[in-house]
Amino acid sequence: MNEQQQLLPLFEVFVRSKRGLDHKHVGSLHAENPEQALEYARDCYTRRSEGVSIWVVKSSDITASQEEDARSFYDPMDDKPYRHAMHYQLPEPVNNM
Amino acid sequence: MTTDQTALLQYALGEADDALILGQRLCEWCYHAPYLEEDLALANVSLDFLGRAQNFYQYAAQLDPQQRTADQLAMLRDSREFRNLLIVELPIGDFAFTMARQFLLDCFYVEFMTALQGSADPNMAGIAAKAIKESQYHLRRSHEWLLRLGDGTEESHRRMQIALDQIWGYTMEMFENSPAENELLAEGIAVDRSALKPAWDTRVNTALVEATLSRPEDGWSVRGGRDGIHTEHHGHLLSELQFLQRAYPGLEW
C-alpha cells in the first residue's frame, strides 16, 4: 500500500441489485470524499450491471459491536428457545416461516 | 458505390479510429494508476472507448467496398491509413496530462455526441445515443480531477497547467471538418464540428476558472490526423496494438 492510499479515507459500499430489494454490503474502497467514493463504487462494484442504487458510508462512521462484548451481547440469547417460532403449530397452507 | 457512401465510410472510420486510439492510450494505465480504485475506473473508461470503436468499425465494415471486417479495419491498417485526431495519440504523460486531455475531449464528446444523436443516418445516431451516456459520466470524472489537481497542491497545479499548455495546440483539430464531413453536412448526417466550439469554450473556461488554472493562449496548432499524417508516437502505439494480428494473422480467442 502506498502513502497516498493510507491518506485516503476508507468507505463501505452497499449496493441494491434490484428495485424492491435491500442494499447489501459488497465491500470497501478508498476515496478522497463521499462523491468520489460513490463514483469508485460505481466503477468497481457495478461494472457488470450488479446494481440500481449505491450507498457509501465512511467506515469510521460505523459503530460496530466488539468481539469482547460477545459474552454479554449474544450468549444470553442461546437458551431462550421460546423466542423462536418453532413451538407453534403452523396451519397447513403455511409451508415456511 | 456513391460518393456519399465513400464519405460515410470515412466519417465512421474517423470516429472509430479516434475511439480506438484513445482507448488504447487509456488502457496503458492499467496496473499503473495512482491507486487501485482509479486503476479500475480508468480501465472502465478505456473499455467504453474500445466498445465505441467496435460500434463504428462494424458500421464502417458494412460500408467498405473492400469488404474488410471490423477487426481487419482496426488491426491491419498502417499508420498512414488511420484517420484519428492527433490529440488522442499523444503519449499518456503523467496523470495530470492524461486527465487534462480527457477533460478537453470529454467536453467535446458531450457536445458532439449530443449533436450526432440527431444525425439523418440512423446508425450513426444510434451509436451516439449509447455513447452520450458514457461521455457524460467520463466528463463528471475528468472534471472533478481537473478541479482536484488544478486547485490542489502547488505541485498538482503546476503539472496540470503544464499539461494544458502542452495539449492546447492539439485541440483546434477537433473543430475542423474533414472533406467527408463537409460533404455529409448538407444531408444532416455529419455534425458541424466548428459549430461546437462556443459550447466547448464555455465548458472549458468555466472549469478552468474553478480549478484556478489559466486558459493557454491560442498560439500554435497542429493538425494532420484526418489526412493520415501522424506524430512519431502513432507507429509505436500501433506496433503494440496490432502485434498479435501481425505476428499471427487471423488469430482468434
CATH code (residue B97): 1.20.1260.10
Question: Would you call A60 helix, strand, or coil by DSSP?
Answer: helix
Is the pLDDT at B3 greater than 90? The verdict is no
> Whole-angstrom Cα distance, residue A59 to residue A57?
6
Residue type, B119: S
Contact in structure between B12 and B39 (CB atoms under 8 Å): no
Measured distance CA(B9)–CA(B63) in Å, rounded: 6
pLDDT digits (tens, 9 = 90+) for B119-142: 999 999 999 999 999 999 999 999
Residue B106: closest CA among B128, B134, B85, B86:
B134
**B53 and B20 Cβ atoms separated by less than 8 Å:** yes
Q: How many domains does chain B have?
A: 1
B32 exposure class (CB count in 10 Å sphere: 0-12, 13-18, 19+): exposed
In a domain, B253, yes or no: no
From B60, B81, B83, B80, select the one nearest B9 (Cα to Cα).
B60
- Whether A39 sits inside 8 A of B148 (CB atoms) is no
Residue B252 lies in a domain: no
Fold observed for domain A1-61:
Ubiquitin-like (UB roll) (3.10.20)
**pLDDT category, B1, cuts 50, 70, 90?**
low
**In this structure, what DSSP letter does residue A28 have?**
E
Put simply, the answer to whether A4 touches B40 (Cβ < 8 Å) is no
The model's pLDDT over A57-71, given as tens digits with 9 standing for 90+, comes to 999 999 999 989 888
The per-residue pLDDT for range B173-205, each reduced to its tens digit, is 999 999 999 999 999 999 999 999 999 999 999
- What is the predicted pLDDT for the residue at A29? 96
The single residue listed with the C-alpha cell 482536484 is B148
Q: Is the pLDDT of residue A50 over 60?
A: yes
Instruction: Provide mean pLDDT across the span B55-72.
Output: 97
A32–B35: do the CB atoms touch at under 8 Å?
A: no
pLDDT band with cut points at 50, 70 and 90 for residue A79: confident
Give the domain range for residue B102. 3-247
Give B148's contacts in chain A (Cβ within 8 Å): 32
Q: Are A44 and B41 in contact (CB < 8 Å)?
A: yes
Q: Residue A89 pLDDT more than 80?
A: no
Domain ranges of chain A: 1-61
Question: Closest approach of chain A CAs to the CA of B50, in angstroms?
Answer: 15
Which of A36, A38, A54, A56 should be substituted to probe chain B, the one whose Cβ sees the most B Cβ atoms within 10 Å?
A36
Mean pLDDT, residues B34-54 taken together: 96
Q: What ipTM was reported for this prediction?
A: 0.86
pTM beyond 0.95: no
- Are B21 and B82 spatial neighbours (Cβ–Cβ below 8 Å)? yes
Span between the terminal Cα atoms of chain B, in Å: 34
Q: What is the pLDDT of residue A93?
A: 79
Contacts of B34 in chain A (CB under 8 A): 2, 4
**Cα distances (Å, whole numbers) of residue B165 to A4, A79, B95, B105, B214:** 27, 73, 15, 15, 9
